[in-house]
Amino acid sequence: MRSLEIKNSTSSDEIKALRLITALKTPYLPDGRFDLEAYDALMNMQIINGAEAVIVGGTTGEGHLMSWDEHIMLIGHTVNCFGGSIKVIGNTGSNSTREAIHASEQGFAIGMHAALHINPYYGKTSLEGLVAHLEAVLSMGPSIIYNVPSRTGQDIPPSVIQQLAQHANMAGVKECVGNKRVKEYTDQDIVVWSGNDDECHDSRWGFGATGVISVTSNLVPGLMHELMFGGSNTKLNSKLLPLIDWLFREPNPIGINTALAQLGVVRPVFRLPYVPLSLARRIEFVNIVKEIGREHFVGNKDVQVLDDDDFILVGRY
Amino acid sequence: MRSLEIKNSTSSDEIKALRLITALKTPYLPDGRFDLEAYDALMNMQIINGAEAVIVGGTTGEGHLMSWDEHIMLIGHTVNCFGGSIKVIGNTGSNSTREAIHASEQGFAIGMHAALHINPYYGKTSLEGLVAHLEAVLSMGPSIIYNVPSRTGQDIPPSVIQQLAQHANMAGVKECVGNKRVKEYTDQDIVVWSGNDDECHDSRWGFGATGVISVTSNLVPGLMHELMFGGSNTKLNSKLLPLIDWLFREPNPIGINTALAQLGVVRPVFRLPYVPLSLARRIEFVNIVKEIGREHFVGNKDVQVLDDDDFILVGRY
Amino acid sequence: MRSLEIKNSTSSDEIKALRLITALKTPYLPDGRFDLEAYDALMNMQIINGAEAVIVGGTTGEGHLMSWDEHIMLIGHTVNCFGGSIKVIGNTGSNSTREAIHASEQGFAIGMHAALHINPYYGKTSLEGLVAHLEAVLSMGPSIIYNVPSRTGQDIPPSVIQQLAQHANMAGVKECVGNKRVKEYTDQDIVVWSGNDDECHDSRWGFGATGVISVTSNLVPGLMHELMFGGSNTKLNSKLLPLIDWLFREPNPIGINTALAQLGVVRPVFRLPYVPLSLARRIEFVNIVKEIGREHFVGNKDVQVLDDDDFILVGRY
Amino acid sequence: MRSLEIKNSTSSDEIKALRLITALKTPYLPDGRFDLEAYDALMNMQIINGAEAVIVGGTTGEGHLMSWDEHIMLIGHTVNCFGGSIKVIGNTGSNSTREAIHASEQGFAIGMHAALHINPYYGKTSLEGLVAHLEAVLSMGPSIIYNVPSRTGQDIPPSVIQQLAQHANMAGVKECVGNKRVKEYTDQDIVVWSGNDDECHDSRWGFGATGVISVTSNLVPGLMHELMFGGSNTKLNSKLLPLIDWLFREPNPIGINTALAQLGVVRPVFRLPYVPLSLARRIEFVNIVKEIGREHFVGNKDVQVLDDDDFILVGRY
């Protein structure tokens, strides 16, 4: 199914150079379908404020709540409308090798610049199985491996990453295990993006990380850009930590979904099993926005505290 | 699900101006998946030889043998790689309104320039149902209505076309019923493309048709371009008729599939229920190519007579 | 994928003996999903009144408006709840050989007693392709071939049926071309069911047909049972003809959908592209019911004329 | 979509009484499709040896490597062929509420006796979200909640189970956290099945568990039946522990897949990302079988050490 004609065919080196990658939120219409107008607006906010790439349908973008045809369509839409201005990284990983192969083949065929691959969460497998899984997809194009044991139930050990790092398409690792692990990789010239917004400043400036794959940059892309490009800046980092702390009080993307709705840039629609943060937390967010400054956040409406009744939760869509 | 950001957003007027639209063949790998390298080569041959648009996954392209995710992916691939050089018209029609809505929404979201819509074949419906079906999709973007009673079992009568022609997105009709019907529409300034290669010269130069949606142009795009752009040319038309006659001895795309395989531009792989033309017909084709001139046909290998054993027929893919 | 354990594994001979087969209507909830309570009630009416088999997801049951997982689920549901009382024939045919293979394999795996197979409508193919298509599925279990050129655009000629009739799983033909064709087959001991309610009395008693695959029996299963079992009965046939004529004024299942809604046995919900018959026709139906006798029709509510506003048309479901 | 006709409609109380539930292995053909003949043989071995229920498409049965239509078909097949002899529990849970709703609706419609529901693994959610997720499916029929934090990354706390236990359809918990947690539930009359074969003897006889949902019973159903029905039997438990220990050296179902292939009851076909245990481990298994006694294991071929080349690994199927 390979094509020789993929427009803007991307090398691993281009991916390795990215510092600010946003794990983009997917906004919904009241019936649960994608709200592409809101999505496009979010994309433009990212581009204007300096994000260099987006993850489409990551855990933040709720790829696990999409059918594959929705997911691939969203990648294709993003490539078609924004692929000239920003790198598009499709989360075409899966705990099923069949699905990862199929989705990655389709994603590269429609022009995504790189794939994000997860180890087989929930089903899990042996290290030999993990390597077989990742080797089945690495040949297709530039790929980032994502290690997040708190979600997958299984750490990807350095031995596996070192083995895969020989592959020309292996761009690097999105690592959530901590800065000791980050340093272990960067000491060996393996590219790392921090997967933890609260650690990413130190990862970048103290442990050799190339950048961050960020949730927080959905909200304050300009500040996250400053954090990744402007040199060590503990003052800015400290200013952001209360926001980051607030975002991850419940499993992501519950916080970011609530926040973007209160900023008026997405409709307050949740696909189950996600539900909004409590009223108390929603009030906290408004205060955090005021503390940091509304002007640093996306959108230009007043931030507001939404009522419980403002939210729409959809189970069938 | 609407987006305001579709790149190269296309008006109905741009679609109305197209004269040579190729209903592109979809080539396969031996396991039945798409052969995108061959597909890209076919696309480049169309662009170089003057086709202005392609139908992706039409009856010629065997959209009815694709899963929808394959179909949408192929549209996205075509837009991404070739959308700047040629118009991409997705055959997102269906006899199921749900499927037509879903596929058209997805197709426009990933950048197709227009949709091709069929009336509900096989299941059929009343005229009121037909209008409801088409109105459910016309709002999404420029659309061509396809009338081919020999496949659908039901003629779309002029009364329906006239009613839909008021809609800003209705670009015109691909009409297979004959030149009397063509003239009925063109007299009312409704744009028509001939859906019959054997009639298209006369449709264009004698009955007011804008152009053709062609199968034959898969083989001889340059000659079909001449036929549609160069003024009335009965000599060229006569030269092409034996080829066209040969192509439609069995239901399309059996002939075109056989021909392209013998020209060496696609692998000799058929998705069932299609099977190659008989050896006798395959020999005829080689003679027709010599008669017209190999140089007018796509590809640059010698045309050859394939053996029965050269063909691969796939039922599971 | 074969199983040796299919409960009530059925021989072709058992299928060949069936006289009254109802092409069952699929009822819907207001959101377009299946209304299984109404479905079960319809099934019970069929069983009580003597139908010996049902077609699940035929053109009457709108299989072409189902996703395959809905379709297979409905077959499985019918087998599980009613398979001991009535034969369950799944319409697992398709114009795509891949889909026909997959659906038939699944249908037999979940216990359907026979498959209904159509020739490749819309896409069409050569006779060699048609034979290859049908041979790909015949090995799986008892099968009925369905010939309806007015829907498919292509007649299945006797030569093909005769060739396939050698296969042990070929149970017979649902033939819509007329009684001359019926006789041609029955003279050769090929089992035929009439696919035209208006001809079925004569097919059965004058041309050797085994029975009927009926739409009308959704409404008056007892009378259709009488027509197929009680010996030639031109008086009953004449009594039914106005009803049958009414049912097929617009493409089936528009009439039957409208009728069952007015009898109060299904909700007045239509999946597009089907829309109800006009008010004038709906009034006619009430008169026809009175003429034949309400007691012969399914359900026990008063028949009523529904208003336009009573109907719900769904395009997304 | 509810039906009133589900055959053998099952109460929660019937589910609560089950002591030996096998999480059945799904066997494959060399092309990766289901091997239903082998599956049926495994089912019969379970029935003959006293298993009272099976989980279809659990993590052991690799439901996460199935498309939903495969999964639902397998549930329907099991109900149709074996539903009179054994309870069929479909693993229709998902980390996507939409998928859990759709699959559970379909599973109950085709006759499964109960559903197994997981909390949203990988994507995770808040406790409020978890409750909303489970409440969306509990109304459909008897349900077992599955808690396995080592796979899901998130413990289901007792507070949530206690809240859901009020629901009439909540049959109980498959608990993997340990016997302290088991006792916490059984002290409150909440039914628990051990999800850990190595602990299940003690769970059953020391901590009030009703029984086990077992992987090991795929191999030695008769011994597991004795362990759950025959009273406390530490000798038998000790005899089994080396086998259980062997089975879980790598993430399940790697061990069970390898074991069943070596016992000759399934083909040595693995869907990736699973790969067989190493040769050293495969030799160990043969010794364990000899130690326990071949006659206690399913199948009647000699147990053998398979070579690496005997195994088929499939990524596309």
Determine whether the interchain pair D123/A65 forms a contact, defined as Cβ–Cβ distance below 8 Å: yes
What is residue D9's predicted lDDT score, i.e. its pLDDT?
Answer: 80
Restricting to B residues 39-58, those with a Cβ less than 8 Å away from any Cβ of A are 39-40, 43-44
CB B79 within 8 Å of CB B88: yes
Residue C82 has which token pair?
Answer: 């009613």
- The pLDDT of D284-295, averaged and rounded, is 98
* Minimal Cβ distance to D73: which of C35, C37, C110: C110
Q: What is the pLDDT of residues D57-69, one digit of tens each?
A: 999 999 999 999 9
| Closest chain D residue by Cα to residue A130 | D273
What the block records as the tokens of C130 is 């048609």
Distance CA B298, CA B316 (A): 30
Catalytic residue among C7, C146, C185, C301: C146
> Which pLDDT score is estimated for B189?
98
pLDDT for the residue D7: 67
The stretches in chain B having pLDDT less than 70 are 7-8
Nearest to C251 among B64, B124, B313 (CB): B124
| CB < 8 Å to B83, chain A | 80
Helix (H, G, I), strand (E, B) or coil at A311: coil
Best to test chain A binding among B68, B78, B80, B85 (most A CBs inside 10 Å)? B80
Q: Which chain C residues are closer than 8 Å to B64 by Cβ?
A: 95-96, 122-123
Query: CA-CA distances (angstroms) from residue A57 to A170, A234, B7, C237, D94?
Result: 20, 31, 21, 61, 17
Q: With 90 as the cut, is the pLDDT of residue D218 above it?
A: yes
Using an 8 Å CB-CB cutoff, list chain C residues near B62. Answer: 123
pLDDT of residue D8: 60
Q: Does D313 touch chain A (CB under 8 A)?
A: yes
Q: State whether C33 and D2 contact (CB < 8 Å).
A: no
Given an 8 Å threshold on Cβ–Cβ distance, is D76 in contact with C76? yes
> Shortest Cα distance from D129 to chain C (angstroms)?
25
DSSP, collapsed to helix, strand or coil, labels residue A80 as helix
Residue-averaged pLDDT of chain A? 97
Contacts of C128 in chain B (CB under 8 A): 275
Which residues from chain A sit within 8 angstroms of residue D153, using beta carbons? 121, 149-153
Are C3 and D68 a contacting pair at CB < 8 A?
A: no
Q: Which residues from B are below 8 Å from C1, CB to CB?
A: none
Return the number of other C-beta atoms located less than 10 Å from residue A253's C-beta.
25
Nearest to C257 by CA among C236, C281, C230: C281
Cis peptide before C273 (omega within 30 of 0): yes
Measured CA to CA, the distance from residue D304 to residue C45 in angstroms comes to 56
C34 forms bridges with which residues in the sheet? C28
For D251-277, what is each residue's pLDDT tens digit? Answer: 999 999 999 999 999 999 999 999 999
Q: What is the pTM of this model?
A: 0.97
How high is the pLDDT of residue B245?
A: 98
Q: Which residue does chain C place closest to B130, by CA atoms?
A: C273
- Among the partner-chain residues A65, A120, A149, the one whose CB lies closest to the CB of D98 is A65
The DSSP annotation for D76-99 comes to HHHHHHHTTTSEEEE----SSHHH
Q: How far apart are CA A255 and CA A277, in angstroms?
A: 7
- Beta strands B53-56 and B87-90, pairing class: parallel
What is d(CA A111, CA A77) in angstroms, rounded to the nearest whole number?
Answer: 10
In C257-276, the residues whose Cβ lies within 8 Å of chain B are 271-275
Contacts of B95 in chain C (CB under 8 A): 64, 122, 273
Residues 6+ apart with CB under 8 A from A98: D65, D271, D272, D315, D316, D317
Contact check, Cβ <8 Å, A123/D315: no
Q: Which of D3, D4, D54, D317 to mutate to test the interface with C (most CBs of C within 10 A)?
A: D3
Q: Give chain C's residues under pLDDT 50.
A: none
Question: Which residues pair with residue A209 across a beta bridge?
Answer: none
> Is A125 part of the contact surface with chain D (CB cutoff 8 Å)?
yes
Asked if D28 has any chain A CB less than 8 Å from its own CB, the reply is no
Q: What is the pLDDT of residue A37?
A: 97
Best interface-test mutation with D: which of A96, A102, A104, A313 has the largest number of D CBs within 10 A?
A96
Q: Are strands D87-90 and D53-56 parallel, antiparallel or unpaired?
A: parallel
Task: Please tell me if residue B80 touches chain A, with a CB cutoff of 8 Å.
Answer: yes
Cα distances (angstroms) measured from residue B144 to each of B92, B196, C112, C153, D157: 11, 16, 41, 22, 57
Residue corresponding to tokens 């990736």: D272
Residue B16 annotated among the catalytic residues of the structure: no
The amino acid that residue D87 corresponds to is K
Note whether B122 contacts C: Cβ–Cβ < 8 A.
yes
Q: CB–CB of D254 and A121 under 8 A?
A: no
**C98 interface with D at CB cutoff 8 Å:** no
Question: D73-92, pLDDT tens digit by residue?
Answer: 999 999 999 999 999 999 99
Copy the structure tokens of residue A6: 């993929």
List the beta strands (DSSP E) in A148-275: 170-175, 192-194, 211-214, 269-271
In angstroms, the CA A261 to CA A244 distance is 17
Q: Choosing from D122, D146, D180, D239, which is the catalytic residue?
A: D146
Task: Give the residues of chain A that fall short of pLDDT 50.
Answer: none
Catalytic one of C174, C183, C185, C235? C174
CB contact under 8 A, B123 and C64: yes
Let me know if C235 is a catalytic residue.
Answer: no
- Non-local (6+) Cβ contacts of B6 within 8 A are A80, A81, B108, B109, B111
CB atoms within 10 A of CB D268: 21
Q: Cβ-count burial of A128 within 10 angstroms (0-12 exposed, 13-18 middle, 19+ buried)?
A: middle
Of C48, C92, C104, C97, nearest to C66 by C-alpha is: C92
Task: List the single best residue of B44, B81, B108 to mutate versus A (max A Cβ within 10 A).
Answer: B81
Q: Cβ contacts (< 8 Å) between B68 and chain C: which residues?
A: none
**Residue of A2, A29, A68 lying closest to B36 (CB–CB):** A2
CA dihedral for A248, A253, A255, A260, sign (positive or negative): positive
CA distance B308 to chain C (A): 13
